Amino acid sequence: MAKQVLFLLRQANYTSLKSAIGNLFLAVIKFFAFTFTGSLAMQAEAIHSFNDGCAQAAVFVGSVFASRKPTSSFPNGFGRLSNLIVLFVAIFMAYNAEHMIQKSFHVLLAPAASPAAGFFWNIVVLVSAFVVDGFVLYQAMKDIGKEVESPARGWELVKLSLRSYHLATPETRLVFWEDLLATGAIFIAVAGITAAHLGVAPWGDSLAGLIIGVLLFGIAVNVAWENIKGLIGYTAPEEVVEEIAEAIMEVEGVEDLYELDVVQEGAFLDVDGTIELPETMSVGEAEDVKDEIERRLKKIYPNIHNVTLGIHEDDELSRWGSREYVRLRRKAPACKLVKVAVSTRKK
């Protein structure tokens, strides 16, 4: 039992755990700053950090349980458990955001002067939050680079993250977007608090709280939708389909791909397709080809859960080649999607 627990913990997503710890720490600091200054922007920031911390803690817990092997009672494994946990957290996030929007809107109609002494305290807390959120965001970018197998660093890493985030694991995507928006929200909070303190816009603090609340609600809806898709199952990105198709076509004996569907379900991929083989090939040889395909695919994408392949005799039509997936389109291996830690480590 102890060995199994240690094994599951080793496979968990520690990016989300580090982000959860950082955000919950920031939530406590921001809450004390809000209590001292009464700043609505700071209250919104505290709720933002608290929501992010809860969501990422849920992702970490989900990644632990999702690493369990399939059982007789649950033959499809536990990959969707992470999606289910985070979906409930997203509902909680939406509730907090809606409450923040309402409060900020009411105060916006009758803004109150913020304590002068609290301005500098707010700025210090927000600068500290920027350092922590910026560090976590950079770690998430590094994880994206690692998962897409890119050596990019510096500004190139930033561009790579914005361009290829959809090819990273669901957990890393969540951390990346939440901390990217959290970093942006800090600038909004600083602008609102400063405008209110200088008297340029007495309603700046409550307006900043309202904007951050709307951002929070948007994040909650996006997180909920991403995890609903994970529970239902959705088509993998084109790059992933291309690489899987290419790997299948490179197996000796495969003449063409009659059809291919690659679906992401939870943290895993399901491959379902039909290959074209020479009509002279025996049943035993065809089974050997299918076994070789499955071996190669699971080597490329260790998180592939099922490979289901049908057989069709070669009709001499180049279906996949004509779509430039394989024969007419050769390129470097596509970025890897959802490489679950449990699959990439030796048992």
CATH number where 255 lies? 3.30.70.1350
- Residues 69-88: what's their mean pLDDT? 73
Structure tokens at 147: 């998962």
Q: What is the pLDDT of residue 229?
A: 81
Tell me what the pLDDT averaged over the chain comes to.
77
* pLDDT of 331 strictly over 70: no
Residue in 227, 57, 26 with CA at minimum distance from that of residue 124:
26
- Residues 252-265: what's their mean pLDDT? 83
110-113 long-range contacts (CB < 8 A, ≥24 apart) are: 111/196, 111/202, 111/203, 111/205, 111/206, 112/38, 113/196, 113/202
Indicate if 314 and 267 belong to the same structural domain: yes
Q: What is the pLDDT of residue 316?
A: 66
Radius of gyration of the chain from its Cα atoms, rounded to whole angstroms: 24
Indicate if 266 and 194 belong to the same structural domain: no
Tell me the C-alpha distance between 39 and 30, whole Å.
10
Indicate if 299 and 177 belong to the same structural domain: no
- Residues 69-82: what's their mean pLDDT? 70
* Among 68-77, 88-97, 306-315, the least confident range: 68-77
* pLDDT of 13 strictly over 70: no
Q: Buried b vs exposed e over 174-183: b needs ≥16 C-beta within 10 Å?
A: bbbbbbbbbb
**For the segment 262-273, what is each residue's pLDDT rounded down to a tens digit?**
888 766 788 988
- Residues 307-329: what's their mean pLDDT? 62
Q: What is the pLDDT of residue 346?
A: 40
Q: What is the pLDDT of residue 111?
A: 62
User: Which residues span the domain enclosing 296?
Assistant: 238-335
pLDDT confidence of 322, banded at 50, 70, 90? very low
pLDDT confidence of 63, banded at 50, 70, 90? confident
Is residue 344 in a domain? no
Q: What is the CATH number of the domain that holds 185?
A: 1.20.1510.10
Q: What is the pLDDT of residue 138?
A: 85
- Residues 312-320: what's their mean pLDDT? 67
* pLDDT of 295 strictly over 80: yes
Q: What is the pLDDT of residue 312?
A: 79
- Residues 26-49: what's their mean pLDDT? 85
Indicate if 227 and 247 belong to the same structural domain: no
Is residue 286 in a domain? yes
pLDDT confidence of 340, banded at 50, 70, 90? very low
Residue in 51, 34, 256, 253 with CA at minimum distance from that of residue 126:
34
- Residues 99-117: what's their mean pLDDT? 71
Can you say whether the dihedral through the CA atoms of 102, 107, 108, 109 is positive or negative?
A: positive
pLDDT confidence of 311, banded at 50, 70, 90? confident
Is residue 346 in a domain? no
Indicate if 18 and 145 belong to the same structural domain: yes
* pLDDT of 33 strictly over 70: yes
Tell me the C-alpha distance between 281 and 278, whole Å.
6
Q: What is the pLDDT of residue 344?
A: 39
* pLDDT of 205 strictly over 50: yes
* pLDDT of 113 strictly over 60: no
Q: What is the pLDDT of residue 4?
A: 54
Torsion angle (degrees, nearest 10) of CA 71, 77, 80, 84: 10
Residue in 257, 342, 240 with CA at minimum distance from that of residue 300:
240
Indicate if 7 and 129 belong to the same structural domain: yes
Indicate if 208 and 72 belong to the same structural domain: yes
Q: What is the pLDDT of residue 114?
A: 54
Indicate if 94 and 221 belong to the same structural domain: yes
Q: What is the pLDDT of residue 8?
A: 54
- Residues 18-37: what's their mean pLDDT? 85
**For residue 264, what is the enclosing H or E element?**
strand 256-265
Q: What is the pLDDT of residue 237?
A: 77
* pLDDT of 2 strictly over 60: no
Cα atoms found within 13 Å of the Cα of residue 106, Cβ hemisphere only? 5
Phi, psi of 16, rounded to the nearest 5 degrees: -65, -35
The residue ranking higher by pLDDT, 82 or 184, is 184
